[in-house]
Chain A
Amino acid sequence: MSRQIIVPFGPQHPVLPEPLHIDLVLEDEKVIEAIPSIGYVHRGFEKLVEKRDYNNYVYLAERTCGICSFMHGMTYCQAVEQIMNTEVPERALYLRTIWSEYSRLHSHLLWMGLMADAFGFENLFMNAWKTRERILDVFEQTTGGRVIQGSCKIGGVRRDISGPKLVEMAQDLESIQDEIEDLTNVFLMDSSIKHRLKNVGILSRTDAYQLGAVGPMARGSGVDIDLRKTGYAAYAKLKFEPVTETGGDCYARCAVRSREMFASIDLIRQAIGKIPDGPVDVRVSGMPNGEYFSRCEQPRGELVHYVKANGTKFLARSRIRTPTLTNVPPLVKILQGCELADVPVIIMSIDPCIGCAER
């Protein structure tokens, strides 16, 4: 006769980068049910929008998350620019694209390090973050901030990158690409890593679509959703294909992120090759009035910023729906029936960013 016991997982756990609490109902090391609970880092961003000028709210929107901060700022700026019908100059769109793709690179490298740490491979964790430092150096040299960039504003970007600097960045990408290739070779072909990742946490294709999985979690199960195809920023002019795998297990999600890194490097090279000259911002005046849903592809999935303005300088409502929040129902589904020792690996494979999810 087996009994059911409840094991609390988190909010403090050596594997979790951010506080998340899951109550696991166990029956002899097999998980029957998982009950999530969030709210440890709720900071009330959506209430604060009523007290800050719509121009200044960019600084707050960026600080929602430390890993994907540039895209939060960019999506908010896009929403307000659409409401006010502002035409952003071409060079600013290309610069935003370049910074977004660097943001995706550093986020995936961070995730690789944490995933390696989740199953105990600390050396790989250190090596992944060593490569990530080079990308943070690029951010600091071009925007002034390693983690919070502070370079998006309504009407364009605040800072320009000079021509010689762009050439230097393109040359540095060669050695960064070699290092990433070494890391992904270890990840995808090492037998002990395969043993821990294959056939763990399987999410079928219909489940992924019905439950609303986004980002690499959906693309690892074969669902072809990539918001970059809608053509915001400069993506309409660059050529790329979304990366999908059909396994549906943790190994497939890992493979999707690894291949996406190479796709990002290719996109950066294309953007540096095609960037036009010109101004980088445009003056914005007047008050916004209207509403808009602005969507973009963060490293973790689809980010939605809903902005509603009523003609004064404070916005009426800003709602941020982050990909981690919408990946929690599929997580609850795939935790049912797995072993207790696989729980950290599965939770890390959805790439949880609870700071984003909690705003």
Chain B
Amino acid sequence: MLMIEKQTTTAVEIGKLIGQVEEFRNNGYRLVQIGCTKAGDNFEINYSFDKAYEFRNLRVIITQDTELPSITGMYWGAFIYENEMHDLFGIAVKGMNIDYKGTLIRTTVKFPFGMPVSGPKEESP
């Protein structure tokens, strides 16, 4: 069976991100995940929301040195995704409510999935 559930993705500017997220929060959506994908030289950040099994996705495209505003003001639990994004990809997020400053995920190579300044060496057996 095809297309189990409907999924909509909307691209959004970084300046309007907070406004859109606040609108989702007021309509009762819950945060599913914040994910980061490396696409060429840019990073695509996906913010996913869900309400009553309806899936909505916001996408922001940034470069390595852009600073993302944090959405922990509206969703208290988002700090874990933003810290993980910072520890693995090296993206700076401004204004997190609980900021681990790089100690959430401790790896030998800093920012292993980010732009290849330090080569990633993780290989599974």
Top 6 A-B pairs ranked by shortest CB distance? A44-B122, A329-B77, A39-B105, A211-B77, A321-B33, A212-B77
Give the interface of A toward B (CB within 8 A): 35-39, 42-48, 60, 63, 78, 82, 85, 87-88, 93, 209-212, 227, 229-232, 236, 292-293, 295, 302, 304, 306, 308, 316-317, 319, 321, 325-326, 328-330, 332-333, 358
Closest A residue to B38 using CB positions: A317
- B31 / chain A contacts, CB cutoff of 8 Å: 212
Which one of A87, A302, A317, A328 contacts B80 once the chains associate, using CB atoms below 8 Å? A328
Interface 1/0 per residue, B107-120 and A, CB below 8 Å: 10000110000001
Q: Is the CB of A317 within 8 A of B122?
A: no
Q: Is the CB of A210 within 8 A of B76?
A: yes
Closest A residue to B34 using CB positions: A321
Q: Is the CB of B30 within 8 A of A210?
A: yes
21 A-B contacts, Cβ less than 8 Å apart? A38-B105, A39-B107, A47-B120, A47-B122, A48-B123, A48-B124, A60-B124, A87-B2, A211-B75, A211-B77, A229-B53, A293-B55, A295-B55, A304-B32, A308-B37, A319-B33, A319-B36, A326-B33, A329-B77, A333-B76, A358-B105
Bound form: Cα–Cα A38–B100 in Å? 11
Q: Is the CB of B80 within 8 A of A292?
A: no
Q: Is the CB of B57 within 8 A of A293?
A: yes
- B80 / chain A contacts, CB cutoff of 8 Å: 325-326, 328-329
Closest beta carbon of chain A to B83's beta carbon, Å: 10
Q: Is the CB of A39 within 8 A of B5?
A: no
Q: Is the CB of A47 within 8 A of B30?
A: no
Q: Is the CB of B113 within 8 A of A47?
A: yes
Q: Is the CB of A329 within 8 A of B39?
A: no
Bound form: Cα–Cα A38–B38 in Å? 23
Which one of A85, A211, A316 contacts B2 once the chains associate, using CB atoms below 8 Å? A85
B contact residues, total (Cβ < 8 Å): 41
Q: Is the CB of A212 within 8 A of B75?
A: yes
Bound form: Cα–Cα A48–B35 in Å? 17
Q: Is the CB of A330 within 8 A of B77?
A: yes
Bound form: Cα–Cα A43–B113 in Å? 12
Bound form: Cα–Cα A87–B105 in Å? 39
Q: Is the CB of A304 within 8 A of B48?
A: yes
B70 touches A (CB below 8 Å): no
10 further A-B pairs in the complex, CB-CB below 8 A; given A35-B98, A44-B123, A321-B33:
A36-B104, A37-B106, A44-B120, A44-B122, A78-B4, A293-B7, A304-B48, A319-B36, A321-B35, A329-B76
Bound form: Cα–Cα A85–B87 in Å? 35
Known: A37-B106, A38-B104, A44-B123. A82 touches B32 (CB 8 A): no
Closest B residue to A211 using CB positions: B77
Q: Is the CB of B4 within 8 A of A304?
A: no
Q: Is the CB of A209 within 8 A of B2?
A: no
Which one of B30, B98, B103, B122 contacts A42 once the chains associate, using CB atoms below 8 Å? B122
Bound form: Cα–Cα A333–B79 in Å? 13
Bound form: Cα–Cα A227–B107 in Å? 33
- B106 / chain A contacts, CB cutoff of 8 Å: 37, 39
Bound form: Cα–Cα A251–B104 in Å? 30
Closest beta carbon of chain B to A288's beta carbon, Å: 14
- B38 / chain A contacts, CB cutoff of 8 Å: 317
Q: Is the CB of B112 within 8 A of A209?
A: no
Bound form: Cα–Cα A325–B78 in Å? 11
- B107 / chain A contacts, CB cutoff of 8 Å: 39, 42
- A292 / chain B contacts, CB cutoff of 8 Å: 7
Bound form: Cα–Cα A356–B4 in Å? 24
Q: Is the CB of A306 within 8 A of B46?
A: yes
Q: Is the CB of A321 within 8 A of B32?
A: yes
Q: Is the CB of B2 within 8 A of A212?
A: no
Q: Is the CB of A43 within 8 A of B104?
A: no
Which one of A209, A236, A317 contacts B37 once the chains associate, using CB atoms below 8 Å? A317
- A330 / chain B contacts, CB cutoff of 8 Å: 77
Closest beta carbon of chain A to B78's beta carbon, Å: 8
Q: Is the CB of B39 within 8 A of A209?
A: no
Known: A38-B104, A38-B105, A328-B80. A82 touches B122 (CB 8 A): no
Bound form: Cα–Cα A210–B38 in Å? 29
- A227 / chain B contacts, CB cutoff of 8 Å: 53
